Amino acid sequence: MSKNTPDKIADNPLALPYGSNVSAPAIVVPDVAKFKERIPLANHHLNTRLEELKKEYEELLSLAQDTELCYNAKYNFIPIVGETYYLYWNKQEYLLSLIEPERWNRYDFVGAFVHGTNNTWHRQE
């Protein structure tokens, strides 16, 4: 401030982030309590999304295990995408077959799998 200006008057009042005279608008502190009431909504959204991600992870892990099981099984054919194949256990190794379990009870039936377009094996229920 210069020496010629009285107290309570700014040299450059337009640069201040607040009003510098009596006729300036009042400074009102916003009520943040209403805003903070949204915390449970955000937490609910985040927890729901986390559960969805956990479920998706479990499904992906199951798909990876099934795919590895089928690729490591013994078979003497080239699987065709979209076709269903049957996995059996013969007490020593897994066998992938074209024969349905109703027609072949020689080994323990593990499950039916479809060879997918992205080279994964999807278990059929």
33: its two tokens:
């309590």
85 in Cβ contact with 98 (< 8 Å): yes
Segments forming the whole domain that contains residue 43: 25-124
Bigger pLDDT: 35 or 69? 69
Using one digit for the tens of pLDDT, what is the confidence trace for 99-111? 999 998 889 999 9
Do 70 and 116 contact (CB within 8 A), yes or no?
no
pTM above 0.75, yes or no: no
Q: Where are the beta strands (DSSP E) in the chain?
A: 84-89, 94-97, 108-115, 121-124
Place of tokens 């450059």: 12
> β-strands 84-89, 108-115: how paired?
antiparallel
**Please, which pLDDT band fits residue 31 given cuts at 50, 70 and 90?**
confident
Predicted confidence (pLDDT) per residue in 63-98, tens digit: 999 999 999 999 999 999 999 999 999 999 999 999
Residue 31: inside a domain: yes
Does 15 map to a domain?
Answer: no
Instruction: Say yes or no to pLDDT of 45 above 80.
Output: yes
Overall number of domains in the chain: 1
Question: Is 9 part of a structural domain of the chain?
Answer: no
